[in-house]
Structure 1
C-alpha cells in the first residue's frame, strides 16, 4: 500500500512545477430548459463549483449528485453532461484552464477523484472564483500572476478536502515510485546513484530517469539533493545536531553540504539554525505571554 506521505509528495511536486493558463471563467445559472441533452467534450480542463441548487453530472455513465459545495475537476477530452429535472436550478461557478503537464496521465496514475464535497470552505471557494472573474476582466500586467495564485489556491483547497484513503490499489507506476521514495528517505546518508535507484524497480537507468522525472518533475539526483536539504533543515532545529553531524546524516562532506545548503536557502547552516531557533523561541515566548494574559 502506498504511503500517504509519498502520495502527497508526488502531487505537491507536480503542482509546484505546473504552469496554468485560464481560458475563460464565469458564473452561470442553469435550468432544465437551458441544457441540451448531449455530452460535451472540451479540449481544456474544467473546474466546476456548485454555488447553489442541485442537479446531476454524468461522466462515463456514472451519475454524480451536484449539490451546494460540490467541486469538480474535469480533465480535457472527458465526455460529460449536466442534467436537471424540470423544477431544478443550478448556479455554477466555473473556469476552463490548461496546464503544462499531461494531467490526464498523472491523475490516472495517482487515481485522484475528480469530485469532492466541500463543507467548511464554500464561501472561500466562491470568493476565489469571483476574484478570478475580476482578474480576467481587468487584463492588467500582473493579472496572470494573480490568476495563477488563485488557481493554485483552488487546487490546494481541492487537495485539502481530498480523501486519499480508499482510492483503490495503487497503479504499478505508483508502486514503483513509492518503493524508490522510501529507499531515498532510508538511505539519505549513503551515496545514492541513479543505478541504485533504478535497480530497486528493475528499470534501465536511462528509462528510469525519464520515468521518475515524468512523475516528480525532478531528475532522481535533483530530488535526492532536495530531500537532503529538507532533512537538513529539520535536523538543524535539533540542539544535539551540530552542522557536522547534520552533514553526515544526509551523506555529504561538510564543505559541500554547507555550499549546497547556502545555495538552497541563501543562508549558511549555522545562520539558518540561529535564525530558526530564535524564531521558535520568540514564538514560544509569545504564546506563554498570551496564556498569562488569559
Structure 2
C-alpha cells in the first residue's frame, strides 16, 4: 500500500464534493470548516460502519475489498485512470475490471486523424471489439472493402477465408481474448452475443470450450490473404488508448508472400 499517494488522492477528491449535494447541511457555527464531505458522511453515503472510510484514507486498512474501493471511486467521481491509481495505491495491483460498464466504448475524435496518418494497416476497436476508427489500408484488406463492424466477430465467424490457417493460426489465439474480456466485463451485451453465436457454431464451439491460455497479440505474426496483395503475413502491434481501458489500437505490418521470408525485427531496448 502506498499510504501517502492514497491519502493525497482521496483527500483531494473528497474535498471537491459539497455536502449539500448529498443532502447534508454545512455547519454554520463553531466546528468543522474543511471543504467537502466529512469522513463520517462518506461512511453514511456508502452504508459502511463508522470509521471504515477513515481507515482507508489514513492507510490503515490493509487489503481493502475492491467493492469498497469501487463504491468510493464512484461516489468521488473518479475517471478510469484515477480508478487504476486508487487500486494501485491501496492494493498494489491493477483493478479487476473497469469502474463503469460504459468505459472503453469511446475515444477522442482525434484518433481517426491519427490512424489515417499511419502508413500500415491500422484500426481502433472498443472494449467490445466494435470498430471505432480505421485507415484506408485497413479497408483495402477486405474483399470489396467491406469493413466489419466488429473485428472479434469477423475474426471468429466471418473472416475464415481471409485468415489463412484459421484453425491453427487465428481461432485458438483469438478465442482466449474473448474469454478474458468476458471475465472483466461479464455484463457486456456485445461480447455475450458473440459468445452465444460462437457456441452455436459447430466449427468454433469446440475450440472455445476447450479453453486455452490468454496470448496477447502484440508482436505476433500470422498469415492472411490480402484482398489486393494476395497471400502474406502480418506482424501485430497492439496498444491501448489511455482514456478507454479495454479499447485497442492495432497496427498490422503486412509482408507479402505465402511463406514467412521477412526478417523479424529484434526487440527494442533503451541502453
* TM > 0.5 fold call: no
Greater helix fraction, Structure 1 or Structure 2: 1
Greater strand percent: which structure? 1
- TM-score scaled to structure 2, two decimals? 0.30
